[in-house]
Amino acid sequence: MTNSEILRFYISCPPGLEPMLAAEYKTIGLSRVKLKKDEDNQVIHTIGEDTGGMEFEGPLEHVYLANLHLRTASRVTVRLGEFKAITFAELRKKSSKMEWSRYLIPGQKVSIQVTCHKSRLYHSDAVAERILGSIDDYFSASSKKTELSTEGQIVLVRLVNDNCTISLDSSGDLLHKRGYRQAVAKAPLRENLSAGIIMASGWDKVAPLIDPFCGSGTIPIEAAMMAQHIAPGINRSFKFTNWPAYNKLTWIQILDEAKKQIIKESPPIFGYDRDAGAIEMSKANAARAGQKDQIQFFCQAVSLLESSSSTGWIITNPPYGIRVSENKDLRDLYARFGAILKQNFSSWHVSVLCNDDQLIANLGLQKPEKTIRLINGGISVKQGNYFL
Q: Which distant-in-sequence residues (6+ apart) come within 8 Å of 173 by Cβ?
A: 236
Using pLDDT thresholds of 50, 70 and 90, give the confidence band for residue 91: very high
3-state secondary structure of 125: helix
Residue 330 has pLDDT above 60, yes or no: yes
Reported as a single tens digit per residue, the pLDDT across 276-312 is 999 999 999 999 999 999 999 999 999 999 999 999 9
AA letter at 159: L
Q: Quote the pLDDT of residue 26.
A: 86
Phi, psi for residue 155 in degrees, rounded to 5: -110, 120
Whether the pLDDT of residue 3 is over 90: the answer is no
Tell me the pLDDT tens digit for each residue of 234-293.
Answer: 999 999 999 999 999 999 999 999 999 999 989 999 999 999 999 999 999 999 999 999
Residue 56 has what pLDDT? 87
Q: Are 316 and 353 in contact (CB under 8 A)?
A: yes
Q: What is the pLDDT of residue 183?
A: 75
Strands 370-376 and 379-387: antiparallel
CATH 3.30.750.24 fits 191-228+263-387, yes or no: no
Specify the fold of 7-169: VC0802-like (3.30.2130)
Answer yes or no: are the C-beta atoms of 371 and 384 closer than 8 Å: yes
Average pLDDT (352-361) is 95
pLDDT for the residue 49: 46
Mean pLDDT score, 209-230: 97
Residue 47 has a pLDDT of 41
DSSP codes joined into one string, 175-215: TT--S---S--SSPPPHHHHHHHHHHHT--SSS-EEETT-T
pLDDT tens track for 55-80: 888 999 999 999 999 999 999 999 99
User: Residue 4: what pLDDT?
Assistant: 67
Pick the range with the lowest mean pLDDT from 168-182, 185-199, 268-282: 185-199
In this structure, of 50-59, 208-217, 276-285, the range with the lowest mean pLDDT score is 50-59
Question: What are the domain boundaries of the chain?
Answer: 7-169, 191-228+263-387
pLDDT of residue 325: 46
pLDDT band at 88 (very low <50, low <70, confident <90, very high): very high
Q: Looking at residue 46, what is its pLDDT?
A: 39
pLDDT score recorded for residue 42: 54
Please, which pLDDT band fits residue 44 given cuts at 50, 70 and 90?
A: very low
**pLDDT at position 198:** 98
Fold identical between 7-169 and 191-228+263-387?
A: no
Alpha-carbon torsion 91, 94, 96, 101, what sign?
negative
- DSSP-derived letter for residue 304 is G
Query: Which of 37-41, 170-174, 265-269, 373-377 is predicted least confidently?
Result: 37-41
Q: Can you give the length of the chain in residues?
A: 388
What is the rounded average pLDDT for all residues in the chain?
A: 92
> Which among 236, 206, 240 has a CA at the least distance from the CA of 223?
206
pLDDT over threshold 80, residue 8: yes
Span 73-90, mean pLDDT? 96
Residue 102 has pLDDT above 50, yes or no: yes
Q: Is the pLDDT of residue 159 over 60?
A: yes
For 267, the 3-state DSSP assignment is coil
In this predicted structure, what is the pLDDT of residue 29?
79
